[in-house]
Amino acid sequence: MAVVSRCSRAATAATTANATTAPTFAYLIRSLSPFSSSSSTFYPQNDLNNRNKPAVLGTLKRESKGRNVQWVFLGCPGVGKGTYASRLSNLLGVPHISTGDLVRDELASSGPLSSQLKEIVTQGKLVSDEIIIDLLSKRLEAGEAKGESGFILDGFPRTVRQAEILEGVTDIDLVINLKLREEALLAKCLGRRICSECGGNYNVACIDIKAENGRPGMYMAPLPPPPQCASKLITRPDDTEEVVKQRLRIYQAMTRPVEDFYRSRGKLLEFDLPGGIPESWPKLLCALNLEDREDKQSAAA
């Protein structure tokens, strides 16, 4: 009953917003609402010792009972959403779904949307809500057919309208807002390299911000590729200085309000990255009460 009323609310909102896109939204609604079974259900504990703990962490056990996590990663371009979402996805056994990757796959496929998307992405602009929801719906339906349940979304939602639609069709348990000092963001995007064969993400930037005027320094070591990837590295066409600056501006204008959307619902966990992966990963696990989980996985390996 609750799902039915949630679905009809979202459908009504979507239809009101744009009558011609209703079938696409219906597709998203169908894709998201059946997430219910669980093979590795996870309940974070209630004793999070974090000044920014969202209210939802205290009630998560009740809200997510019986299914896998449904989490969202927010954060500026270059902050490392993909890196941490992918690590958590491995740890928790839920799919990591990056809408940026879906857009890049569509671009590479030379399908009907390809040239339209190329122009938008290389200018650092956002793809329309309709297109992105269509790509996400198809990905969720394909996952569902393979028996996937739960998700960690990376790069979605990026507008308040996307957040409203998602909120209307499913319960997002937690939104992790990754934050990194602004000086580091541009350097991280410019240093990003991708293996054209395996898709692995690496970084050649060495970020070394000196302590100044009472602000602590910060060091992030490069993330070099393994030897088998070293000769196959490519740079994303939207990782140029001009386009990254435009993406950062668009983040401020379009996505910053999404943080408020989730903050006001008590779902936002603010996480300031203290440095590179070696410093940040254990602290993130601690903020999520997941240290035990990793210990058990390492012991079983």
Give yes or no for a contact between 173 and 63, defined as CB atoms under 8 angstroms apart: yes
Specify whether 247 is catalytic: yes
Among the listed ranges 126-134, 174-182, 272-280, 284-292, the one in contact with ligand ADP (CB under 6 A) is 126-134
Exactly one of 44, 54, 100, 150 binds ligand ADP (CB under 6 A); that residue is 100
Angle at 257 between CA 253 and CA 260, to 5 degrees: 155
Residue 127 binding ligand ADP, by CB under 6 A: yes
What's the closest the beta carbon of residue 188 comes to ligand ADP, in angstroms? 9
Indicate the residue whose CB is closest to ligand ADP: 100
Which one, of 299, 292, 298, 293, lies nearest residue 40 by Cα? 293
Given 121, 152, 169, 185, the residue binding ligand ADP (CB under 6 A): 121
Is 158 in the active site?
Answer: yes
Give yes or no: 236 in active site. yes
Report the candidate in 155, 171, 205 with the shortest Cα–Cα distance to residue 2: 171
In the block, residue with structure tokens 């939802």: 56
**In b/e form, how buried is each residue of 176-202, taking b as 16+ CB within 10 angstroms?**
bbbebeeebbbbbbbbbbbbeeeebbb
Nearer to ligand ADP, 60 or 107 (CB): 107
DSSP 137-178: HHHHHHHHHTT---EEEES---SHHHHHHHHHHS---EEEEE
Question: Which pair of tokens denotes residue 222?
Answer: 């490069």
- Residue list 150-169, contact with ligand ADP (CB under 6 A): 155-156, 158, 162
Least Cβ distance, residue 289 to ligand ADP (angstroms): 26
120 vs 221, which CB is nearer to ligand ADP?
120
Query: Is 192 among the catalytic positions?
Result: yes
CA distances from 69 to 38, 149, 173, 214, 255 (A): 9, 8, 7, 39, 23
103 is a site residue for ligand ADP (CB under 6 A): yes
Determine which one of 236, 245, 263, 265 is catalytic: 236
**Residue for token pair 């996937």:** 148
By CB under 6 A, name the one of 32, 94, 126, 284 that touches ligand ADP: 126
Which is closer to ligand ADP, CB of 33 or CB of 122? 122
Q: Decide: is 99 part of the binding site for ligand ADP (CB under 6 A).
A: yes
> Given 81, 87, 104, 188, which residue is catalytic?
81
User: Exactly one of 48, 91, 120, 221 binds ligand ADP (CB under 6 A); which one?
Assistant: 120
CA 75 – CA 247 distance, rounded (Å): 12
- Nearest to 24, CA basis, from 138, 103, 118, 108: 138
272 close to 179: Cβ distance less than 8 angstroms: yes
The CB-of-112 to ligand ADP minimum distance in angstroms stands at 17
Q: Site residues (CB under 6 A) for ligand ADP?
A: 77, 99-100, 103, 120-121, 124-127, 132, 155-156, 158, 162, 238, 247
Active site amino acids: 81, 158, 192, 236, 247
